[in-house]
Amino acid sequence: AEWGGFEDNMQGGGSAVIDMENMDDTSGSSFEDMGEMHQRMKEEEEEEAEGEAGAGEEEDGEFLGMKGLRGQLGRQVADQMWQVGKRQASRAFSLYANIDILRPYFDVEPAQVRARLLESMIPVKMINFPQKIAGELYGPLMLVFTLVAILLHGMKTSDTIIREGTLMGTAIGTCFGYWLGVSSFMYFLAYLCSAQITMVQMLSLLGYGLFGHCITLFVTYNIHFHSLFYIFWLVVGGLSTLRMVAVLVSRTVGHTQRLILCGTLAALHMLFLFYLHFAYHKVVEGILDTWEGPNMPPFQRVARDIPVVSNAVLNATAKAIALTL
């Protein structure tokens, strides 16, 4: 019985030992499983971190790509703008190369200008076919400048007082304004009336028509007789006006169109000469009065007499000071 009990105890202890071994094995396996799980979780975290870093790098690359594309587009736009500005600047600085465009309008001999000046005072008789008009601007331009000089000379010989500066700006504006303005208006009217004339021909025709104005004003500014002016106005100004009217009649078809066109040109041309002789000086003087004020005499210092009482006081004071000293 004792041996049997010992065996039972031994068996129980063996089973306990076996159970401890099993428990130790189980605990070891569980620890290993926990370690493997921790390692796997760590690896997964590292993989996720690497994935996030890769995604961040891809996003940075895409951003840098867009930024580089925008920078490239900006450089291309700036380059195009630079090229356009460079071409415009080169055109502006190379304007002298295009002077040949204006050369035909100013390439004329002095003998031809002299002949055309004389022809501007002789009305044509043949109006059945279009009369020839000189397509040059040298003579008309010189006549406009001559008219400007005559107006300035007339202002100096008249009673007009020039207070500040010169009247060259007013004279240039008046003469060039008439030449360019009336030429443009008559060209527009000629276009409406179906007249065969170009803008350059109209400028040349009206410019040479100012030759009569220059002669009339130069004579009447130096010889102040109204009767003489009326004679020159009718004869010299009338001849130059008849020349222009005859040329326009030869280039216009239809009686109504001729009447409108030629009547308008004759009225403007003759009235402009009348204005330059009688009203130009007064208008300029009125403009000067408006800008600078009316004519005022310069400020002068006037000596005034000292009263007798003041002299006595001054003398007594001077004597008292002398005695004191």
Q: Which of 185, 186, 193, 197 is nearest to 258 (CA)?
A: 193
DSSP string, 136-163: --HHHHHHHHHHHHHHHHHHHHSS----
Q: According to the model, what pLDDT value does residue 41 have?
A: 75
Query: What whole-number distance in Å separates Cα of residue 30 and Cα of residue 17?
Result: 19
Q: Is 84 within a domain?
A: no
Q: Is 258 within a domain?
A: yes
Q: Is 286 within a domain?
A: yes
pLDDT at position 86 over 70: yes
Query: What whole-number distance in Å separates Cα of residue 55 and Cα of residue 48?
Result: 10
Query: What whole-number distance in Å separates Cα of residue 89 and Cα of residue 81?
Result: 12
Q: Higher pLDDT residue, 36 or 244? A: 244
Domains in the chain, number: 1
Q: Is 236 within a domain?
A: yes
Q: Is 219 within a domain?
A: yes
pLDDT at position 271 over 60: yes
173 is in which domain, residue-wise?
A: 138-151+161-291
Q: Which of 196, 320, 284 is nearest to 247 (CA)?
A: 196
pLDDT at position 145 over 90: yes
Q: According to the model, what pLDDT value does residue 139 have?
A: 92
Lowest mean pLDDT among 21-30, 98-107, 176-185, 283-292: 21-30
Mean local confidence (pLDDT), 44-70: 58
pLDDT at position 66 over 70: no
Q: Is 273 within a domain?
A: yes
Q: According to the model, what pLDDT value does residue 300 have?
A: 39
DSSP 8-class letter at 98: G
Contact 183, 206 (CB under 8 A): yes
148-151 contact pairs (CB < 8 A, 24+) = 148/172, 148/175, 150/214, 150/217, 150/218, 150/221, 151/175, 151/217, 151/276, 151/280
Mean local confidence (pLDDT), 34-56: 66
Per-residue confidence band for 82, with pLDDT thresholds at 50, 70 and 90: confident
pLDDT at position 107 over 70: yes
Mean local confidence (pLDDT), 31-59: 62
Query: What whole-number distance in Å separates Cα of residue 146 and Cα of residue 217?
Result: 11
Span 199-252, pLDDT tens digits: 999 999 999 999 999 999 999 888 878 889 899 999 999 999 999 999 999 998
Radius of gyration of the chain (CA): 54
165 SS3 class: coil
Q: Which of 116, 293, 301 is nearest to 204 (CA)?
A: 116
Q: Is 304 within a domain?
A: no
Span 158-173, pLDDT tens digits: 665 555 445 678 888 8
Query: What whole-number distance in Å separates Cα of residue 164 and Cα of residue 287?
Result: 13
133 SS3 class: coil
Q: According to the model, what pLDDT value does residue 171 have?
A: 86
107 SS3 class: coil
Q: According to the model, what pLDDT value does residue 158 have?
A: 65
User: Would you say how long the chain is, in residues?
Assistant: 325
Q: According to the model, what pLDDT value does residue 304 have?
A: 39
Query: What whole-number distance in Å separates Cα of residue 289 and Cα of residue 266?
Result: 33
Lowest mean pLDDT among 46-55, 141-150, 276-285: 46-55
pLDDT at position 78 over 90: no
Q: Higher pLDDT residue, 241 or 65? A: 241
Span 88-104, pLDDT tens digits: 766 665 655 566 677 88
Highest mean predicted confidence (pLDDT) among 166-170, 286-290, 302-306: 166-170
Q: According to the model, what pLDDT value does residue 176 have?
A: 94
Q: Is 180 within a domain?
A: yes
